[in-house]
Amino acid sequence: MTIQEFIENIEAEFDDLKPGVLQSTGNFREAFEWNSINALILIAMVKTTYDVTLSADDLTNSTTVNDIYSLIENRVSK
């Protein structure tokens, strides 16, 4: 698992997210329209791909793609 793969997985889920727009250090809420449905799509993708659960607090406390990726990395290795 790499951050680039993670970004590609996100890009695959969101039709209006053009490849290359989402950067690891960028704010994921600004890269595309962020709303509760998109939050569920992201949580579903992370659960099915990495078997990791992201909570509402995890998302609230994260700003960048890197922040979420780190959470997943920590939980996968446990």
Q: Which residues bind other proteins (CB under 8 A)?
A: 33, 35-41, 43-44, 47-48, 53-56, 59
- Chain CA centroid to CA 50, Å: 11
Closer of 1 and 40 to other proteins (Cβ): 40
> Tokens in use for 40?
């569920």
Count of CB atoms situated within 10 Å of the CB of 73: 15
Q: At what angle do helices 3-13 and 65-77 cross, to 10 degrees?
A: 110
Minimum CB separation of residue 17 from other proteins in Å reads 12
Closer of 8 and 33 to other proteins (Cβ): 33
Minimum CB separation of residue 59 from other proteins in Å reads 8
